[in-house]
Structure 1
Amino acid sequence: MVYSPLQAAAKYFKYYVHAANSKGHGMHSPFVYEFITKVMNDFTKYEAYEKVEQLRKQLLSDSTELLIEDMGAGSSATSSDRRTVSSIAKNAAKPKKFGQLLYRMAKFYQPQTILELGTSLGITSSYLALGNPSAKVITMEGASSVADKALDNFRQLHIRNIELVRGNFDSTLDDVLGTNQRIDLAFIDGNHRQEPTERYFQQLLPHVHNDTLLVFDDIHWSKGMETAWKNIVQHEAVSCDIDLFYIGIVSFRKEFKEKQSFTVRV
């Protein structure tokens, strides 16, 4: 069950009160300190930001209707199987703040193989691909009409390092991982339910390495997603996790002698 707006606000207040400041002061983990100071707090106005946000602005005014084959937890905004591009851009696309954070992660850590579960209109895919143009970005989308629109958007932005895989993750993810043995960065932003989220994590595990980062979307969206996040960070392979409320990041770095968890204010 998705949290109500009141429940979500209470969750966020609790997070905000207990989270570490976003300056990195007093942070004893070199990796997390570097993430905060070099990635989160990189306030450069990159050219890619304007390109992607111009696309977002265009999509927000697009009244074209698309048929949606929803294979996840659905939309919290509508139960219809038809949605306008503008409503998808408004309700399903990741906000600018987090799209640009993913861009900076790709730019700073230079992952060579990036996987995204949940293309939607391709806004975050574009940020990831532009963050490291030399990377191979594989993005996966279940709704065919949405995938078509995303491909149009990639062409509009002249992005050529994205491969889009269509179909339900449950039947396509194994094949993708079979041909991409090493995943450097993954953004899991589809099927916002506990069991599938934990299953995708388990499927990804054989393909991670010391420097891999997995980013999970909407970790406090529902009780099920909170449980999934809790179970994921407790896994023995995870050495460090960072809770940014709207997204959660896990690392597998061996330099962490003991498991470490951080909650950081965004």
Structure 2
Amino acid sequence: MLQIIKSYLKFLYNSKNQHGVHSPFVFDLVTKCFYDKKQYPEYAVLKKYRKSLLANKNFIEVTDYGAGSKIFKSNKRQISKIAKTAGISPKRAKLLFRIVNYFQPKSILEIGTSLGLATSALSLGNKKAKIITLEGCPNTIYLCQLELQKFNINNVECVQTKFEDYLKNFKPETLNSKHQIFNLVYFDGNHSKQATLDYFELLLPTITNETVWIFDDIHWSTDMEEAWKIIKNHSTVTVTIDTFQWGIVFFRTEQKKEHFIIRV
């Protein structure tokens, strides 16, 4: 906890709003997307989706292949508490919706489904997008499928798998023209340094100039901060944005290499 507080204070000291941004691409993203105050009708769906999970007092056994939980001490967890404490926050769900709505990616990969709070935001951002979401735990992904059906969210394919087993299909030696190219990837499945870097490397063969990657919890631990630093400095990466909760990565070759710390 102390590490996160220190990181947040450092973030506040270094962060800027749109007035400190001199890149036209990032300035437009900040002003037209991050700071968009429009009340989208999809926000009401996101709220109802969350309310449905918060009302579910049943318990499930969670299979956790990631870095573990700082909140739950047992793998037997109440659904409402998972939604309240472990899922994406209402504010971040709206921002994720806006990012997808802004870029309109045709294909999306989510690494770490959980109960589908972020999945629903991804879907509602572009209802025509093809979305694949990966989850290792069979019980949580089953619940997510039920919730998505309840809200008529039909453009999501839920895949129960270990992330590395799915992502190894994107190694250069196995990649072919039939494989899915993802315009946006949301990394929220394993908050450890090595796993994050492994997923980054495994998906690099799929990038295009328009690719957007979002890494969750980049300040979750010193290990995650180290992973974020390595990603920022990678030769293929041009623009990066640190919003504290997320690290957003672009591979736009026309942009000079630049890092932004933005309050959202």
Q: 2:15 aligns with which of 19, 32, 36?
A: 19
Map Cα deviations across residues 214-245 of structure 1 (whole Å, 9 max, x no partner): 00000000011001100011100000100000
Opposite residue 264 of structure 1, the aligned amino acid is I
Choose the corresponding residue for 1:120, options 114, 133, 147.
114
> How many matched pairs?
259
Measured in 2, the distance between the counterparts of 1:18 and 1:152 equals 42
5+ unaligned residues in a row in structure 2: which ranges?
A: none
The separation in 2 between residues aligned to 1:87 and 1:119, in whole angstroms, is: 16
Which residue does 1:159 correspond to in 2? 153
SS in 2 for 1:101: helix
CA contact (8 A) 2:65 2:190 kept: yes
Pick closer, same or farther for the CA change 1:26–1:223 going to 2, 3 Å: closer
Q: Which residue is 1:10 aligned to?
A: 6
Summarize the alignment of residues 175-254 of structure 1 with structure 2, pairs less than 5 Å apart: 175=169, 180-254=179-253
1:99-178 superposed matches below 5 A: 99-175=93-169
2:260 corresponds to: 262
Alpha carbons of structure 1 residues 238 and 176: separation in structure 2 relative to 1, 3 Å: closer
- The yes-or-no answer on 1:73 pairing with 2:67 is yes
Structure 1 Cα separation of the partners of residues 220 and 106 of structure 2 = 30
Q: Percent identity?
A: 41
Q: Secondary structure at the match of 1:195?
A: helix
Matches of 2:114 and 2:23 in 1, distance apart? 34
Letter in 2 for 1:39: C
TM-score by length of 1: 0.94
CA distance in 2, matches of 1:217, 1:182: 21
Measure, in 2, the Cα distance between the counterparts of 1:118 and 1:26: 33
User: Take 1:168 and 1:204, find their aligned partners in 2: how far apart are those partners?
Assistant: 15
**Which amino acid counterpart does residue 7 of structure 1 have in structure 2?**
Q
Where 1:203 maps in the other structure, the secondary structure is helix
Within 5 Å, give how 1:36-55 maps onto structure 2.
Answer: 36-55=30-49
- C-alpha displacement of 1:176: 7.4
Tell me, in whole angstroms, the C-alpha distance in 1 between the residues paired with 2:151 and 2:39: 18
Q: Distance in 2 between matches of 1:228 and 1:11?
A: 15
| 8 Å CA contact retained: 2:129, 2:155 | yes
Amino acid aligned to 2:261: T
Q: Distance in 2 between matches of 1:40 and 1:89?
A: 24
Secondary structure in structure 1 of the residue aligned to 2:240:
strand
Q: Distance in 2 between matches of 1:187 and 1:254?
A: 21
Between 231-240 and 83-92, the greater mean CA deviation after superposition: 83-92
1:68 CA drift (Å): 0.7
* TM norm structure 2: 0.95
Structure 1 vs Structure 2 CA RMSD: 1.3
> Secondary structure of 1:33's match?
helix
